[in-house]
Amino acid sequence: MKPVFTTNFLSRFSSLLFSLLVVTSSFAQSTDEMLPKGFAEGEELLIPAYNEWRQNRTVVACEPLPADASIRTMAEWEELQALAITWTGFTGILTQIVAAAVEQCQVIIICTNQAPVINQLNAQGIDLTNVTFVEDDYNSIWIRDYGPNTVYLNDVETLGFVDWIYNRPRPLDDAVPEVIADELNIPLYCTTNAPTDLVHTGGNFMADGLGMAFSSELVLEENDASNQWGTSNHSPEDIDQIMSDYMGIDLYPKMTVLPYDAIHHIDMHMKLLNETTLLVGEYPEGIADGPQIEANIQYVLSNFTTPYGTPYRIVRMPMPPEGNAYPNTNGDYRTYTNAVFVNKAILLPVYEEQYDTTAIRIWQEEMPGYEVVGIDCNDIIPLSGAIHCITKEIGTDNPLLITHQQLRNVTTANTNDYLVEANIKHREGISYAVMYYKTDLNAAYTAVAMTSLGDNNWEAAIPNQPEGTTVYYYIDAEANDGKKQVRPITAPEGYFNFTVSGFVSTENLVASSEIKAIFPNPASAITCIPIQTNQLIADASIELTDVLGRTLAIVFEGDIPAGESKYFIDAAEYEAGTYFVRLNNAQSSVTQKLMIK
């Protein structure tokens, strides 16, 4: 059933909103098209009226949280039944999102009138078979922040939604979770009434699907004793308990807010790619939010581990400038982490080809098999949001969940087979599971039946391989009701992979390192320098030199971890010509040529 609004309240609210917009020149167009992700000028004056509405509204859709059910929040890379958007402003961007997403799942378009939306999508030749139109009201495009959050009861048994209090005085937006829950007939659990009232926003929440999530400290600030939303005074412990009860989040690090990200949403600079890998935005040294982002990541690495007890793997992603300007010099907050998973596709905000090519390559290397769809976000990014901000995932109602810690560090010292372990769940139980592997991308996969160990755990072994071999593998499972799923979700085109490295006695281990192919090269903008080492290299440095060997810049100084790391320079800061990147450590020095055009 749809939310109930009192006529008197909406009349007074609309009058106040209209008055504010009339006197605000930057919002001369309609409210829906121009509301930013943050507060519009003067919009904070609406907060008392919004609080009054919340306290007096009749919410008929919210159900009591089942007392005996455990809750699990969906990870974004899990299977979706739908992607939801609100159709307002920026219709060119929304059209591109629909065109890509209908190839992967249903698209729910909330709109006030479906006829013009249908006309625009038809004009672009988009098949509407997988489109559901829901005619209803809303205030803004930023559905990530106010839309429903997908959870599952008892891990995989029952799909549900959780609704928080939206941290903007936009009552129609705040009611959207009820609208979607009613349309799909999905139970809605609400943290909207004391003592479990919680102000929160989807752009400031990122979960791994296994009980851990990240946010900035904005969630603390908006729920403490000084909060302006008229809600309960929640301590950090209170917030953790609400998130545990309603979202199944039992480990919840919160990071210092960034000085130049005015909305303090973590999706503007980081993203979980899987249970063990964090994609993290990186600025040139000392620029904009770079120092605080790095401090936050070091805090995470020093205090938290993955669900498997191992350190997080960090993948760096350049934060591109607008012209020559970064957020600290009035440039837009351009970001490549504000992307969205839609089953086998990744919808990625793009801005300029000279920067986009590097970002796309990093995404493709990290997520093999996914279709990376670039969508120009130059029009919307000045409002502090991009693709992730204007979309909301709706999880499948019949999940087959496969969780797995990818094999990465394998040496010839391991003379045993390589054990692939996975936890595989479905509400009807698992009929079978198979692990497929190969050592040549052009060859066929070899199938190995996985053995059930009980308690949803399965395993299979990949035979020991010679040094230098790269192994590609994936997991395939079928439930007792016939539901099938693979992990990665893009398999067999996508895969997990690892390379078998040579073994050297730890007593006589000699550190070796190399600069892998710099890209792009020739370079003109953000340029990636991949470093590969066989062990941690202490007190290393990466330098940019001219043809005479003179050091022009210190790209990095410090410890370089074992494996592959990525470092960046902005080639636009240098004249065209020939340069060299030099990696120095106590044992050796290696150099690679870099052409700047």
> What span, in angstroms and rounded, lies between the C-alpha atoms of 173 and 142?
9
Question: What are the CA-CA distances from residue 261 to residues 316, 331, 378 (Å)?
Answer: 18, 11, 17
Which of 354, 377, 395 is the last residue before a domain boundary?
A: 395
Number of domains in the chain: 3
- Side chain identity at residue 485, one-letter code: Q
Asked, for residue 3, whether it belongs to a domain, the answer is: no
Q: Are residues 344 and 439 in the same domain?
A: no
3-state percent breakdown (helix, strand, coil) of the chain, nearest 5: 25, 35, 45
Question: Which H helix or E strand runs over 527?
Answer: strand 526-533
Q: Are residues 379 and 457 in the same domain?
A: no
Q: Express each pLDDT in 136-160 by its tens digit.
A: 999 999 999 999 999 999 999 999 9
Asked, for residue 5, whether it belongs to a domain, the answer is: no
Q: Are residues 384 and 424 in the same domain?
A: no
How high is the pLDDT of residue 503?
A: 53
Q: Are residues 377 and 408 in the same domain?
A: no
How high is the pLDDT of residue 6?
A: 42
Q: Are residues 536 and 461 in the same domain?
A: no
Which of 352, 377, 395 is the last residue before a domain boundary?
A: 395
> What span, in angstroms and rounded, lies between the C-alpha atoms of 564 and 275?
18
Asked, for residue 2, whether it belongs to a domain, the answer is: no
Q: Are residues 465 and 324 in the same domain?
A: no
CB 536 within 8 A of CB 561: yes
> What span, in angstroms and rounded, lies between the C-alpha atoms of 424 and 489?
14
Which of 501, 518, 551 is the last residue before a domain boundary?
A: 501
How high is the pLDDT of residue 534?
A: 81
What's the CATH number where 455 sits? 2.60.40.650
In this structure, are strands 418-425 and 313-318 parallel, antiparallel, or unpaired?
Answer: unpaired
pLDDT in tens, the chain (597 residues): 444 444 444 444 444 444 444 333 332 233 445 688 899 989 999 999 999 988 887 666 789 999 888 999 999 999 999 999 999 989 999 999 999 999 999 999 999 999 999 999 999 999 999 999 999 999 999 999 999 999 999 999 999 999 999 999 999 999 999 999 999 999 999 999 999 999 999 999 999 999 999 999 999 999 999 999 999 999 999 999 999 999 999 999 999 999 999 999 999 999 999 999 999 999 998 899 999 999 899 889 888 999 998 889 999 999 999 999 999 999 999 999 999 999 999 999 999 999 999 999 999 999 999 999 999 999 999 999 999 999 999 999 999 999 999 998 787 767 789 999 999 999 999 999 999 999 999 999 999 999 999 999 999 999 999 988 999 999 999 999 999 999 999 999 999 999 998 754 434 445 578 888 888 888 887 788 888 888 888 888 999 998 777 899 999 988 888 888 888 888 888 999 999 999 988 777 888 999 998
How high is the pLDDT of residue 317?
A: 96
Measured distance between the N- and C-terminal CA atoms of the chain, rounded to whole angstroms: 61
How high is the pLDDT of residue 22?
A: 36
Q: What is the per-residue burial (b if ≥16 Cβ within 10 Å, else e) of 101-117? A: bbebbbbbbbbeebeeb
Asked, for residue 56, whether it belongs to a domain, the answer is: yes
Asked, for residue 6, whether it belongs to a domain, the answer is: no
CB 246 within 8 A of CB 162: yes
Structural domain boundaries enclosing 577: 510-596
Asked, for residue 197, whether it belongs to a domain, the answer is: yes
How high is the pLDDT of residue 170?
A: 94
> What span, in angstroms and rounded, lies between the C-alpha atoms of 7 and 384?
33
**DSSP string covering 211-242:** SBEEEETHHHHTTSTT-SS------HHHHHHH
CB 506 within 8 A of CB 533: no
Q: Are residues 262 and 227 in the same domain?
A: yes
Q: What does the longest C-alpha to C-alpha distance in the chain come to?
A: 80
> What span, in angstroms and rounded, lies between the C-alpha atoms of 26 and 36?
10
What's the CATH number where 315 sits? 3.75.10.10
Q: How many CB atoms lie within 10 A of CB 58?
A: 9
Q: Are residues 336 and 467 in the same domain?
A: no
Q: Are residues 216 and 88 in the same domain?
A: yes
Q: Is the dihedral of CA 132, 137, 140, 145 positive or negative?
A: negative
Question: What are the CA-CA distances from residue 591 to residues 294, 460, 534, 535, 597 (Å)?
Answer: 27, 42, 17, 19, 19
Q: Are residues 546 and 497 in the same domain?
A: no
Question: What are the CA-CA distances from residue 499 to residues 355, 367, 440, 531 (Å)?
Answer: 29, 17, 12, 16
What's the CATH number where 571 sits? 2.60.40.1930
Residue of 147, 211, 193, 210 whose CA lies nearest to 173: 147
Q: Are residues 218 and 202 in the same domain?
A: yes
Q: Are residues 548 and 534 in the same domain?
A: yes
> What span, in angstroms and rounded, lies between the C-alpha atoms of 159 and 189?
11
In this structure, are strands 71-73 and 149-153 parallel, antiparallel, or unpaired?
Answer: antiparallel
Question: What are the CA-CA distances from residue 245 to residues 189, 221, 231, 340 (Å)?
Answer: 11, 20, 18, 26
Q: Is 184 helix (H, G, I), strand (E, B) or coil?
A: helix
Question: Which H helix or E strand runs over 174?
Answer: helix 171-174
